[in-house]
Amino acid sequence: MAISQVFLFALISLVVLEQALVLATFDTDTACVWGKDNCQINGDNLTLILNQWSGASVKGTKEFLFGYVNMRIKLVPDDSAAVVTTYYVGSTISFYMYLNYEDSVCPWTGSNSIQDCSAETPENWYTAPEFRQLSQSQIDKMNEIRSNYMIYNYCTDTKRFNGAMPQECYLPH
């Protein structure tokens, strides 16, 4: 008797869980916010194009509790060492998440790859002294871009961190 009750409970739970699942596609649940010429939605596929003039932004049309993002990114051929991909995920409530992924230019070849990639050698041009800090003209350009194009700066969001700002917010810029 007890086994049949457990089985019945499990069966009912599965039926309820199946009804709670959400089937979503980009077509029905996503909208291009800006850069619409660089945004292509096709069923389960979403293509965002970044060119020398513009990029694109999308938003979900429905609220959700959690999500999963899996991306395949095509990098510029040859010299793509300076490409940094940034994901900014926002919400209409007081919650934001900022993820920043940087693709390494040093290929993984085995257990010694990490040390090989960070070694100060001519092959690893990015470890040379001139790449350890920005020049004054680069700092000026970065500040110009920051003041004209930055949408959100978590280092000024004291309410989010309740005054306990992340360490990087105290670094000079």
- Report the alpha-carbon distance of residue 30 to residue 52 in Å, rounded: 25
What's the angle, vertex CA 61, arms to CA 23 and CA 16, rounded to 5? 30
pLDDT digits (tens, 9 = 90+) for 78-126: 656 656 666 556 555 555 555 555 554 566 566 666 677 777 887 777 7
pLDDT of 140 reads 92
Q: Which ranges of the chain have pLDDT less than 70?
A: 1-24, 63-114, 173
pLDDT of 116 reads 75
pTM: predicted TM-score of the whole model, two decimal places: 0.35
pLDDT of 164 reads 87
Average pLDDT, the chain: 71
Boundaries of every domain in the chain? 23-132, 134-172
pLDDT of 90 reads 58
pLDDT of 88 reads 59
- Report the alpha-carbon distance of residue 21 to residue 28 in Å, rounded: 16
